[in-house]
Amino acid sequence: MRPAIILISFAAALQAQAPVEFQRDIRPILNKKCMACHGADERGRMANFRLDTHDGATGLSGGYKGIVPGNSAASRVIARITDDKRPMPPSGPRLTPTEVSLIRRWIDAGAPYTSHWAFEKPAVKGTPEGNPIDYYVKARLDKAGLAFSPEADRHTLARRVALDLTGVPPSKELLNAFLADTSERAYENLVDKLLSQPQYGERWAKMWLDLARYADTQGYEKDNNRTIWPYRDWVIKAFNDNMPFDRFTIEQIAGDLVPNPTESQLIATGFHRNTMTNTEGGTDDEEFRDTAIKDRVAVSGQVWMGLTAGCAQCHTHKYDPISHKEFYQLYAFLNQTEDNDQPSDAPVLKLANASTLVMKELAGEKRRKTRIHDRGNFLNPTDEVQPDVPTAFHPLPAGAPRNRLGFAQWLVAKDNPLTARVTVNRFWARMFGRGIVETEEDFGTQGATPSHPELLDWLAVEFMRTDWNVKNLLKTIAMSRTYRQSSNVTPALLEKDPDNRLLARGARFRLDAEVVRDQALASAGMLSSKMYGKPVMPWQPDGIWLVVYNGDRWITSPGEDRYRRSLYTYMRRTSPYPSMSNYDAPTGEVCTVRRIRTNTPLQALTALNDPVFFEAAQKLALRTIGDAARSDRERADQLFRNVLVRPPSKDELQRIVKLHRETRDELKRNAAASQRLLHYDQTLYVEDREVTLAGDARKSPAEWQYTTDDPGADWLSASFDTSNWKRGKGMFGFLTAKDQQKEIITPWETDYIWMRHDFEMPAQAMENFRIFAKNTSGFEVFLNGVPAVSSVQDRGSYYEYRVAPQAIQSLKPGRNTIAVKATRTYGMGKNQSIDVSFVAARPPGYTPQTRDLADRAAWVAVANAILNLDEAVTRR
């Protein structure tokens, strides 16, 4: 401990000699303890005193004079922050003695205000040699007395760069080609191949969709389905085509306003159509339109410029140069779009195979005026404003129109000090687990300062010089020595730089939610390479989707759609896919700039027990068992390589074989458990084994006997005489809307209906009995006279009901009876309908008992363990 203390005080002593720098030393103190009342926001300002500008603090702009430059003793600011009776700040923590001393020294030095680094245009400093990334990183390492770590071994490097660039582990072919390539260019060849794979676009699209707050539903109470996946596909293609980032920006913000827009450019405008719509009763469409526009302004500022512009919707930003008025001037750029908050999601663009939400500019007399909203409330409009950009930043480019297109051009103008920096920082952060500016979402005065400012600027300038070439940027990063270092940690490194801010070693961090799942599927050889199209529904536990007033169901996709990359999984905002949210993936409700990685036991439970992961374990095991001729050690070796993309060490191999023996010995005593493990997917996908016992209108509807006259208490008995009942098929009822009326096959308009249907049960023991019903009436279902389901709730689509166990027990091979009694809920002439079906599943088809059954099944448990290793969920 002692040397550390000496070091710290030595550092403090050093700092006491160093000149005070406003941005580094003073600004953070003012922001934290003064600006809330003495900042740029004129409304929140106290005592007519502002500290955010030199002229304000010194009274030159007319307010209170709190600072006398060059004379701290005469400055009221010093008197008040040191006054114990009337202290500043009046509440909350006081300034520390160190802080007071810094302020004093700053005033004595003339109280110089320098502007925030990120608001100055980036410029290249120094003459970088070799890979400039390494040049800047090394300069910083030299200062700290550190050096680069050696390059990571080839296996690690191949897995790392494949996961980073494509979001999936390297294919066997890629890996083997790389390992066999003895040329100097071997690694570069690998990087080039990865950058040209279609998976590259999918990986980076997912990053962008977090920012676009993409989801497949509208949000809020009903959270209905929304078709906007063509926009998702556009993003994938744009990345794969290496569309320059400036064009990528303009097409998304204003693709409809470029001359003669193509279909693709219109689809791109879906970016800002991902805002949510509320269709609850009585909602004010204008209110939710306003919410959407404000969100678009805030998201534009955040995504491209790393500014927390959203603050300025209620009041002038307290820390950054965006006034209340300027927020609404930006709002004015985006306020001329045709979309309203309404269920129809208009305007949409009709495509060959779908439709998608797009932007459309309001025409002529429909164009809107924009007014400042007092305190951000749209019900309190004040002064009218015209579209304009904040004065603290570069002007609109010459010739740029004052509309969305001009705004987009302003975002990617070469004079913009932020867009290139924010963008390169974002890509850097995905490659290193952390940005050069750690607060990726905030480049303002409240954000963190860059760990390598010159490097950030060089990357930004180079990015613009190469015409915003994203693949070039990523290749430059991937090729650097900095990136290729081993991530191994030594106690010395850990002590000197625990967080690896200086990059004396490679980065190491947990994989993103999507990559955790995709990698598990890939290692088991299950991952589908199918791209694009409608979102898919891989297996999800029952009961996740229970959204009010919305009968949409999660229906597991058939075939390879179960195993698509996670970015194709249906995203419902109010009911996210559980394994994704357990691993910190966002829901698409708001723009997510940076996912905060957490570590919870739910993640362990997911990777251990989520059936999707366990199915991957099963298939990985089956793949491993492969040819019977393999030895246990060979199998263990293969399984390990499939997941971790490297050969196991001797110790690792031994431990895996030991686990296999232990589980095999237990499974030898339990053949049923072995069968379940080896046929896990069959248990899981019940729908693949499903048998319809009584069909509904969706396919092969059953013929029911029915009556609307009360048949008496005995109607459920097997021997009840139904010979005078009528016959008809579902759906039964009456619907007021003309287009719905055609769903009705058998009319029913009375208070009650009694229905019976006889069906044959196979001799085989069935399982997983389920009743489905679509109804706007209360109803009860009986099996052989035993109550099975009872419900009074409306279901606008076929809803799955659990069947009472006693009713299932009543079933026997041969003839059985299902009976339904439905009751009209609404008044006469209102909707009433009922349609019921009954399904069951055949048991899974197990393989015959063999000698090596337990031996094979034990590999499933082993695969489950390997998929859960720390290294498996980590990129290192």
Partner 1 sequence: MSNEFSATRRHFFRHCSLGLAGMYMGSLAAQENPLAAKKPPLPAKAKSVIYLHMAGSPSQLELFDYKPELQKYDGKDCPQHLLEGKRFAFIKGVPRMMGTPYKFAKHGGSGAYVSELLPKFSKIVDDVTIIRSMTTDQFNHAPAQLMLHTGNPRFGYASMGAWATYGLGTENQDLPGFVVLVSGGNNPDGGKSLWGSGFLPSVYQGVQCRTQGDPVLFLSDPEGMSRNMRRKTLDAIKDLNELQQKQYGDPETQARIAQYELAYRMQISVPKVMDISKESDATHTLYGTEPGKVSFANNCLLARRLVENGVRFVQLFHWGWDHHGSSRREDIRYALPPQAKVTDQAIAALVTDLKQRGLLDQTLIVWGGEFGRTPMRENRGGSYGEFIGRDHHPYGFTMWLAGGGVKAGLNYGATDEIGYYAVENKVGVRDLQATILNQIGLDPYTLHYPFNGLNARLIGPTDEGKVIKDILV
The closest of 590, 586, 560, 561 to 571, measured between CA atoms, is 586
3-state secondary structure of 353: coil
The strand pairing partners of 692, in sequence order, are 839
- Residue 297: closest CA among 325, 331, 347, 338: 331
Quickly tell me which residue has 């910083």 as its tokens.
Answer: 140
Q: Which is nearer to partner 1, 786 or 861 (CB)?
A: 861
CB of 563 to partner 1, least distance (A): 18
C-alpha pair distances (Å), 102 with each of 74, 113, 256, 448: 16, 14, 53, 19
Closest alpha carbon to 514 in 559, 579, 562: 579
Closest CA to 454 of 147, 138, 126, 134: 126
Nearer to partner 1, 393 or 680 (CB): 680
Pick between residue 836 and residue 862 the one whose CB is nearest to partner 1.
Answer: 862
Answer yes or no: are the C-beta atoms of 537 and 554 closer than 8 Å: yes
Give the nearer residue to partner 1 in terms of CB position, either 255 or 376. Answer: 376
Taking the CA of residue 387 as centre, how many other CA atoms within 13 Å lie in the half-sphere pointing to its CB?
19
Both tokens of 32, joined, read 């934290």
**CA-CA distance, 5 to 792, in Å (whole number)?**
71
The Cα 49–Cα 42 span in angstroms is 10
Which residue, among 263, 57, 155, 279, has the nearest Cα to 645 in the 3D structure? 155
Q: Could you tell me the two tokens for 693?
A: 């016992």
**Minimum distance from residue 531 beta carbon to partner 1 (Å):** 29
Minimum distance from residue 370 beta carbon to partner 1 (Å): 21
Q: Is 732 helix (H, G, I), strand (E, B) or coil?
A: strand
Biggest alpha carbon distance in the chain? 107
- Which among 209, 187, 278 is positioned nearest to 574, based on CA atoms? 278
Smallest distance from the beta carbon of 224 to partner 1, in angstroms? Answer: 13
Residue closer to partner 1 (CB basis): 786 or 853: 853
Q: Please classify residue 518 by burial: count the beta carbons closer than 10 Å to its beta carbon, then call 0-12 exposed, 13-18 middle and 19+ buried.
A: buried
**Cβ neighbours of residue 475 closer than 8 Å, sequence gap 6 or more:** 191, 192, 195
Interacting residues of 340 by C-beta distance below 8 A, sequence separation 6+: 285, 286, 289, 346
- Name the residue nearer to partner 1 (CB basis): 314 or 761: 314
> What's the chain's Rg over C-alpha atoms?
33
Q: Which is nearer to partner 1, 453 or 701 (CB)?
A: 453
User: Cβ closer to partner 1: 700 or 793?
Assistant: 793
Q: Closer to partner 1 at the Cβ: 472 or 488?
A: 488
> Residue 857 in 3-state DSSP?
helix
In the complex, least distance from residue 154 CB atom to partner 1, rounded to whole angstroms:
16
Residue among 64 and 545 whose Cβ is closer to partner 1: 545
Distance linking the first and last C-alpha atoms of the chain: 31
Min. distance of Cβ 870 from partner 1 in angstroms?
4
Instruction: Quote the least distance from Cβ 501 to partner 1, whole Å.
Output: 8
> Minimum CB separation from partner 1 for residue 609, in Å?
4
Nearest to partner 1 of 665, 721 (CB atom) = 665
Residue number, 233 or 441, with CB nearest to partner 1: 441
Residue 219 or residue 417: which is nearer to partner 1 going by CB? Answer: 219
> Please, what is the minimum distance in Å from the beta carbon of residue 489 to partner 1?
4
Helices vs. strands in the chain: H and E counts, helices first: 33, 18
Shortest separation between residue 257's beta carbon and partner 1, angstroms:
28
Closer Cβ to partner 1, 132 or 219, answer by number: 219
Using the 8-state DSSP alphabet, how is residue 139 labeled? H
Q: Quote the least distance from Cβ 516 to partner 1, whole Å.
A: 13
Report the nearest approach of partner 1 to the CB of residue 498 (Å): 8
329 or 540: CB nearest partner 1: 540
d(Cα 640, Cα 660) in Å, to the nearest integer? 13
Complex with partner 1: residue 690 or 871, whichever CB lies closer = 871
**Measured from the CB of residue 864, what is the shortest distance to partner 1 in angstroms?**
6
Per residue, the 3-state secondary structure of 811-823, as one string, reads: CCCEEEEEEEEEE
**Nearest distance from C-beta of residue 99 to partner 1, angstroms:** 10
**Cα–Cα distances in Å, from 586 out to 70, 215, 651, 748, 805?**
50, 10, 39, 46, 39
Q: How far is the CB of 87 from partner 1 (least distance, A)?
A: 17
Nearer to partner 1, 267 or 334 (CB): 334
Q: How far apart are CA 158 and CA 177, in angstroms?
A: 11
Least separation in angstroms between residue 361's CB and partner 1 is: 26
Token pair 């829901």: residue = 587
DSSP string, 475-495: HHHHHSHHHHB-----HHHHH
Q: Rounded to whole angstroms, how far apart are CA atoms 320 and 302?
A: 13
Q: Which is nearer to partner 1, 645 or 677 (CB)?
A: 677
Shortest distance in whole angstroms from residue 182 CB to partner 1? 26
Question: Phi/psi of residue 851, each to 5°?
Answer: -65, -35
For 300, counting Cβ atoms within 10 Å of its Cβ (0-12 exposed, 13-18 middle, 19+ buried), the class is: buried
What is the Cα–Cα distance from 747 to 732, expressed in whole angstroms?
A: 6
Closest CA to 29 of 435, 319, 418: 319
DSSP assigned state of 714: G
Tokens of 354: 């779908």
C-alpha to C-alpha distances, 783 to 705, 801, 803, nearest whole angstrom:
15, 14, 9
Closest distance of CB 712 from partner 1, Å: 24
DSSP string, 212-264: TT--SB--TTT--B---HHHHHHHHHHHHTT--HHHHHHHHHHTTTSSS--HH
